[in-house]
Amino acid sequence: DQQVKQNSPSLSVQEGRISILNCDYTNSMFDYFLWYKKYPAEGPTFLISISSIKDKNEDGRFTVFLNKSAKHLSLHIVPSQPGDSAVYFCAASAPGTSYGKLTFGQGTILTVHP
Amino acid sequence: NAGVTQTPKFRVLKTGQSMTLLCAQDMNHEYMYWYRQDPGMGLRLIHYSVGEGTTAKGEVPDGYNVSRLKKQNFLLGLESAAPSQTSVYFCASTRGRSSPLHFGNGTRLTVT
**pLDDT number for residue B1:** 60
Average pLDDT over residues A40-63: 96
| Residue B99 to residue A104, Cβ atoms within 8 A | no
Average pLDDT over residues A14-18: 98
Q: Sheet holding B4-7: strands in order across? A: B4-7, B19-25, B73-78, B64-67
| Residue B96 to residue A104, Cβ atoms within 8 A | no
Taking CA atoms, what residue in B is nearest to A10? B40
Phi, psi values for residue A33, rounded to 5°: -130, 145
Query: Which of B40, B50, B101 is closest, CB to CB, to A46?
Result: B101
User: Over the stretch A72-83, which tens digit does the pLDDT of each residue have?
Assistant: 999 999 999 999
Taking CA atoms, what residue in B is nearest to A44? B103
**pLDDT number for residue B41:** 86
**pLDDT number for residue B40:** 83
A106 contacts in chain B (CB < 8 Å): 40-42
Q: pLDDT digit of tens for each residue in chain B (112 aa)?
A: 679 999 999 999 999 999 999 999 999 999 999 999 998 889 999 999 999 999 999 999 999 999 999 999 999 999 999 999 999 999 999 987 678 899 999 999 999 9
Position A60 pLDDT exceeds 90:
yes
Taking CA atoms, what residue in B is nearest to A4? B42
Identify whether the C-beta of residue A9 lies closer than 8 Å to the C-beta of residue A19: no
Distance between CA atoms of A33 and A31, rounded to whole angstroms? 7
For A64, residues 6+ apart whose C-beta sits below 8 A from its C-beta are A33, A35, A48, A49, A50, A56, A57, A73, A74, A75, A76
- Which of A87, A98, A103, A109 is the mutation pick for testing B, counting most B CBs within 10 A? A98
User: Over the stretch A61-114, which tens digit does the pLDDT of each residue have?
Assistant: 999 999 999 999 999 999 999 999 999 999 999 887 766 789 999 999 999 999
Where helices occur in chain B by DSSP H, the ranges are none
Distance between CA atoms of B106 and B92, rounded to whole angstroms? 10
- What single DSSP character describes residue A79? S
**pLDDT number for residue A96:** 74
B31 contacts in chain A (CB < 8 Å): 98-100
**pLDDT number for residue B99:** 82
| A50 or A98, higher pLDDT | A50
